[in-house]
Amino acid sequence: MYAAKEISVFDIIGPNMIGPSSSHTAGALRIARLARNMVKKSIEQVKFILYGSFARTYQGHGTDRALIAGMLGFDTEDYRIKESFVYARAAGLHYIFEIDSKRQDVYPNTVDILITDVDGEETTVTGISIGGGRAVIKKINGVDIDLTGDYYTLVIRHKDLPGVVAGVTNILSIFNINIAFMKLYRENKGTIAYSIIETDQPINADVIDKIEELNSVFNAFLIDKL
């Protein structure tokens, strides 16, 4: 479960959203928006592979338009969602949709997002929509993670070596940032790891520069609270 977050009145009277489905439209948009935040450079092409209920009913729910809208950074309230394909073309974003209705071992509303940036670098993200417009990123570049966008989030990709986490938390304490949750995920022992740090306060972009100066850190991203 992802019940860490307290229910606010605006989770009940809300989200304010473009219909028709909180899980298939608003939730899909949020997955794509989270994924977009994990790529620093401008995005050239994106491929979506839809599974489960996403694969069966995406057209009637506007799931495809919502995913593109999320990739363009639109909010769930944005009237442009319905015409997002037009905005994607204007922005030079190439997109492909694939349907995989055979695979059974996935959460009902799952999408794989394969992003290629202007330099040809690829990022692969798997997200699920868990209802009520909430989204969870379950995988990044093959590493299992859990990321919801319920908090201000810092994602750090680094070598799986001793001392990296200490270096990161040291920087956060210099910037007076209070960590709400911190999780560490890795591909294999001693290879690539992801540290995901969630905070209650917004994180200053200067923090990213400092963290990226650390040895063993490949890159770091800020993901805004959705």
Partner 1 sequence: MNFTSGQVLIKICDEKNIAISEAMILRETEYLDSNRYEAWGKMEHSWSIMKDSAKRALKGDIVSMGGLIGGEAAKINRRRLAGYTTVCGTIMSKAIAYAMGVLEVNGSMGLIVAAPTAGSSGVLPGAFLAIQEEMGYPDEVIIRALFNAGAVGYLIAYNATVAGAEGGCQAEVGSASAMAASAVTELMGGTPRQCLYAASGAIANLLGLICDPIGGLVEAPCQQRNAMGVSNALISAEIALSSIQNIVPFDETVAVMYNVGRSMPHELRETALGGLASAPSACSRCRNADK
Can you tell me the distance from the alpha carbon of 219 to that of 158, in angstroms, rounded to the nearest whole number? 7
Q: Counting contacts by CB under 8 A, is residue 15 touching partner 1? A: yes
Residue 101 engages partner 1 in binding (rule: CB under 8 A): no
Indicate the DSSP class of residue 178: P
Residue 129 CA to residue 78 CA, distance in Å, equals 19
**Residue with Cβ nearer partner 1 (106 or 132):** 132
The number of angstroms, rounded, from the C-alpha of 133 to the middle of its chain's C-alpha atoms is: 14
Helix (H) or strand (E) holding 36: helix 27-36
Number of residues counted as binding partner 1 (CB under 8 A): 35
Residue 16 beta carbon to partner 1: minimum distance, rounded to whole angstroms? 5
Binders of partner 1 in range 31-90 (CB under 8 A): 53, 56-57, 59-62, 65, 77, 79, 81-82
**Looking at 22, 110, 129, 153, which residue binds partner 1 (CB under 8 A)?**
22
62 alpha-carbon distance from chain centroid: 19
State which residue, 198 or 220, has the beta carbon closest to partner 1: 198
The minimum distance between CB 194 and partner 1, in angstroms, equals 29
For residues 21 and 59, give the distance between their C-alpha atoms in angstroms, rounded to a whole number.
12
Tell me which of 17, 35, 113, 155 binds partner 1, using CB under 8 A.
17
C-alpha–C-alpha distance, residues 113 and 33, integer Å: 11
Minimum CB–partner distance for residue 196 and partner 1 (Å): 23
Q: Per rule CB under 8 A, is residue 26 in the interface with partner 1? A: yes
Nearer to partner 1, 26 or 135 (CB): 26
Residue with tokens 């997955």: 31
Amino acid at 27: G
Q: How far apart are CA 66 and CA 83, in angstroms?
A: 10
Choose, by CB under 8 A, the member of 20, 92, 190, 202 that binds partner 1: 20
What is the contact mask toward partner 1 in residues 103 to 142, using x (rule: CB under 8 A)? -----x----------------------xxx---------
Please return the burial class of 132, using the count of CB atoms within 10 Å of its CB with bins 0-12, 13-18 and 19+. middle
> 27: helix, coil or strand?
helix
Q: Where on the chain is the footprint of partner 1 (CB under 8 A)?
A: 6-22, 25-26, 53, 56-57, 59-62, 65, 77, 79, 81-82, 108, 131-133
